[in-house]
Structure 1
Amino acid sequence: MKAWEDLVGTALLGTRRRTLDPATQPAAVQNLIEDRPDPAEQLLTAAAVLTTYRRAGRQPLHDVRPLPVASHDDRPFVPPLARERLARLLAASHPDLLLEWLGIVAGTDYRVPPETLPLLAEAARSKAALRGPLVAVAGPVGAWLGQRNPDWSYLCAPAEEQADVWQYGSLTQRRRWLAAKLTQDPAAAREALHTSWKTEPADVRSDFLGVLAGHLEAQDEDFLEAALTDRAAAVRERAAELLGRLPGTRYGESMAERLRPLVRRRGRILEVTVPQGERGDGTVRLRTLVAAAPLAFWTEFGPPAEVVRMTVEGCPAGVLRDSWATAALRQRDETWAQALIGADPGGRTTPPLLGVLGPASQAATVGHLIGRLPVESFARLVHELPRPWTKELGTALLDWIARQDDHRLVSHAAVVIARAVPPRCLRHPLATTRLTMDAGPWRRALTETLNFRREMYEELA
């Protein structure tokens, strides 16, 4: 609009340096300013008229049709106390607690009040983890909102059972479709995955392998072997990880055969020869071989608890231990996980290895680590423990923190413990015992969070 541009340019420069050219203005504005001799008065008059026109000078709308009404949802709303708690969660911006709250509601027959949906949709727009449970609790009203606002389009996602979701759905929809199909019709799911595999971007290929990880079968060996030659490193690594979970694969046996001439035991010493790589990457090659070979390969050198404590010559001991840890994680081998944790309880591989253990062993091992590690080291370990936690592990951690004095790292660990312990731990004495007046702020926050979470579950029971 030339009139507006000339007006703004004159205002920026000032009427002493530039006067408004009436010829650039609409005829109605020219009639208003032509009898005004002061350039500043001309400018202000034109600005007032043009600004009003830009704000309100629009043609009336024709053929206006009312918006369609959202489909009926006969589910009851969450109880009044739960509504109040939702308002507090949204006002306080606690996405982790909000995610838990939505997950609880999604497991019931309740829905959220429609007036809360815009705020929930905005929260889920920036935190994708909230979207799945929000779609479930929002129902058709959420889908209606998603159709009106492109930023909330995830709320109106088509049902995963539709035939064209695999071709045209979002990544989240396709992941859900693949996971459901692998359970309901594994053959059809694998056919769809194999057919579209070469046309998928690298990050999507890696993501789909992650979905396949929960449904691995022996028939996936050929497909995963082919993925080992993928041009994307992330895909190759994920394929090797999944092959490690399958027992007796050709890949694992070939890695063991290549590793066999490189390892020899001499008394309490494990002699390892680093393989010669084409580009001097022998250590990288050794890591690959050890991580991919079945852990049963090492039984000829002794039991796991003995092997991991041997003196290593020929390569850094850390390379071997890290690769053993990778193999134990892939093969879900509890014996090796226990042995590696015992040999280096404060090591960086200890947290993921704890995830390999069964509930009772995990809690017992954590109790053992509490006695072996300094308080500061164990407090750091808490942040890295794999989730979800079992009741046994949650109870062990609550018992530990109940005995601790004020410490910066302990207070940080308390935040993690309060949010991560499972619902069955929310009646621990820490949450039900009245605090003394001299209790530290972190201890009060811990108790408040445990009680807050317990009340969430009780209100929605």
Structure 2
Amino acid sequence: MKAWEDLVGTALLGTRRRTLDPAAQPPAVRHLIAGHGDPAEQLLSAAAVLTSYRRAGRQPLHDVRPLPVAAVDDRPFVPPLARERLGRLLAASHPDLLLEWLGIVAGTAYRVPPETLPLLAEAARTKTALRAPLVAVAGPAGAWLGQRNPDWSFLSAPDGDQADVWQYGSLAQRRRWLAAKLGEDPDGAREALTASWKSEPADVRADFLGVLAGHVRPQDEAFLEAALTDRAAAVREQAADLLGRIPGTRYGQGMAERLRPLVHRRNRVLTVALPQGERGDGTVRLRTLVAAAPLSFWAEFGPPAEVVRMTVEGCPAGVLRDSWATAALRQRDETWAQALIGADPGGRTTPPLLGVLGPAGQAATVGHLIGRLPVESFARLVHELPRPWTKELGTALLDWIARQDDHRLVSHAAVVIARAVPPECLRHPLATTRLTMDAGPWRRALTETLNFRREMYEELA
């Protein structure tokens, strides 16, 4: 539009250096500015008219088809108090509490009001953990929005029964399809995964193995053995981890046979030689062998609690203990997990190993660690405890923090505890006992968060 370009150029240079050319303007504008002798007035009048035209001067549309209407959703909206709390969560930007709130609603027969969906979708755009529960509570209205905004396309995931989702869906849609299919039709899901495996990028192959992790079974041994030769290290690592979860595999037995000549015991000394004559660093190879071999291999050298406390020669003791921890995590062996935690309670493998233990054993072990570790060390450990927490563990941690004095690390641990304890712990005395006037800020924040979460559940009960 030459008239607009001329007007902008004149405005940038100023009317002292350049005047507006009336001939470049439309006839209506020329007529309007003809009565103005001042170049500045001419420029401003022309700008006002042309700006209004650019904003509103459009030819009427023809053959306009109205947008389709979202499918009917008969579910009731969340109660008024819950709706008000949702507004507070969105305004305060607490994604962890918002995730919990959406999870509660997803387990009910409620849906969220449609006017809140844009803000929720925008929050889920950057926080992917919010997407699955949001899809459940948004319903057809959310799918309608997702079809019209590419940034919110996760709301309009295709129906999992459609045959083309696996071939043409986005990565997130394919992951959801695979996870659902593994639960509903395990054989069909594995057939689809095997058929497309070689054509998938390396990061996608590793991602799909992560989805398979929750459904691995002995019949997957051959598939996972083939994945051990994958070009991508991330895929090989995932495959080795999943094979370690299957008892009695050829892979595990083979690793045990290669490890056997390297290990000897003499009195209280465990000698472990590094593998020789193999490609790669001997320490790395030893990690692979120990992590992949069945933990029953070590039974001939003594019970776990005794073996992990032996003096180690021939290899770094830390390498051996870390590899034992990897094996215990893969094989979900509680006896070895207890032994390794007892041998090094403040070690970096303690938090994940606690996740191997059952509810009672976990709570008992945490109670033991409270007595053995300094307050600062235990406060750091709280941040790394695997979730979700059981009622027993949550109660033990609330009891611990109730006894603590003001400390920076304790206050940080209090934030984690307040948001991670399960719903069964939200009526703990910390939440129901009136605080004294001299209570520290972190203790008040802990109580407020516990009560906030308890009210969330009560409003949606």
Normalising to structure 2: TM-score of the pair?
0.95
- For 1:49, what is the secondary structure of its paired residue? helix
CA distance in 2, matches of 1:230, 1:37: 80
Report the AA paired with residue 336 of structure 1: W
Correspondence for 2:228: 228
CA distance in 2, matches of 1:280, 1:115: 59
Report the AA paired with residue 262 of structure 2: L
Correspondence for 1:427: 427
Normalising to structure 1: TM-score of the pair?
0.95
Correspondence for 1:307: 307
CA distance in 2, matches of 1:401, 1:70: 49
Query: Is 1:114 aligned to 2:114, yes or no?
Result: yes
CA distance in 2, matches of 1:316, 1:20: 83
Residue 144 of structure 1 and its aligned partner are, at CA, apart by 2.0
Correspondence for 2:102: 102
Q: Deviation digits for residues 286-336 of structure 1, max 9, x if unmatched?
A: 111111111111112211111111111222111111111111101111111
Query: Are the counterparts in 1 of residues 10 and 19 from structure 2 also a CA contact under 8 Å?
Result: yes
Moved more, 308-317 or 40-49: 40-49
Correspondence for 1:13: 13
CA distance in 1, matches of 2:197, 2:292: 24
Query: Is 1:60 aligned to 2:42, yes or no?
Result: no
Report the AA paired with residue 114 of structure 1: P
Query: Is 1:258 aligned to 2:258, yes or no?
Result: yes
CA distance in 1, matches of 2:237, 2:277: 18
Query: Are the counterparts in 2 of residues 382 and 413 from structure 1 also a CA contact under 8 Å?
Result: yes
CA distance in 1, matches of 2:191, 2:279: 38
CA distance in 1, matches of 2:276, 2:24: 79
Query: Where do 1:54-453 residues align within 5 Å?
Result: 54-276=54-276, 281-453=281-453
Report the AA paired with residue 179 of structure 2: A
Moved more, 245-254 or 118-127: 118-127
- For 1:271, what is the secondary structure of its paired residue? strand
- For 1:62, what is the secondary structure of its paired residue? coil
Report the AA paired with residue 110 of structure 2: Y
CA distance in 2, matches of 1:83, 1:49: 45
Task: Give structure 1 stretches of 5+ with no counterpart.
Answer: none
Q: Deviation digits for residues 199-238 of structure 1, max 9, x if unmatched?
A: 1122221121112112111111110011111111111110
Query: Are the counterparts in 2 of residues 270 and 311 from structure 1 also a CA contact under 8 Å?
Result: yes
User: For residues 51 and 277 of structure 1, do their structure 2 counterparts lie closer, same or farther at Cα, with a shift above 3 Å needed?
Assistant: farther
Residue 23 of structure 1 and its aligned partner are, at CA, apart by 4.7
Moved more, 239-248 or 123-132: 123-132
Task: Give structure 2 stretches of 5+ with no counterpart.
Answer: none
- For 2:264, what is the secondary structure of its paired residue? strand
CA distance in 2, matches of 1:145, 1:366: 46
CA distance in 2, matches of 1:305, 1:23: 95
- For 1:148, what is the secondary structure of its paired residue? coil
Moved more, 89-98 or 406-415: 89-98
Moved more, 122-131 or 18-27: 18-27
- For 2:111, what is the secondary structure of its paired residue? coil
Residue 131 of structure 1 and its aligned partner are, at CA, apart by 1.4
Report the AA paired with residue 268 of structure 2: R
Report the AA paired with residue 84 of structure 1: E
Query: Are the counterparts in 2 of residues 277 and 285 from structure 1 also a CA contact under 8 Å?
Result: no
Report the AA paired with residue 308 of structure 2: V
Query: Are the counterparts in 1 of residues 154 and 173 from structure 2 also a CA contact under 8 Å?
Result: no
CA distance in 2, matches of 1:99, 1:350: 27
CA distance in 1, matches of 2:247, 2:193: 23
- For 1:162, what is the secondary structure of its paired residue? coil
CA distance in 1, matches of 2:21, 2:281: 74
Residue 27 of structure 1 and its aligned partner are, at CA, apart by 4.3
Moved more, 41-50 or 81-90: 41-50
CA distance in 2, matches of 1:459, 1:40: 63
Correspondence for 1:51: 51
Query: Are the counterparts in 2 of residues 210 and 238 from structure 1 also a CA contact under 8 Å?
Result: yes
- For 1:325, what is the secondary structure of its paired residue? helix
Residue 45 of structure 1 and its aligned partner are, at CA, apart by 3.2
CA distance in 1, matches of 2:290, 2:107: 43
Residue 262 of structure 1 and its aligned partner are, at CA, apart by 1.8
CA distance in 1, matches of 2:440, 2:167: 56
CA distance in 2, matches of 1:272, 1:16: 89
Moved more, 267-276 or 20-29: 20-29
- For 2:394, what is the secondary structure of its paired residue? helix
CA distance in 1, matches of 2:151, 2:271: 59
Supply the RMSD in Å over aligned alpha carbons.
Answer: 1.8
Residue 38 of structure 1 and its aligned partner are, at CA, apart by 4.3
Report the AA paired with residue 56 of structure 1: A
Paired residue total:
461
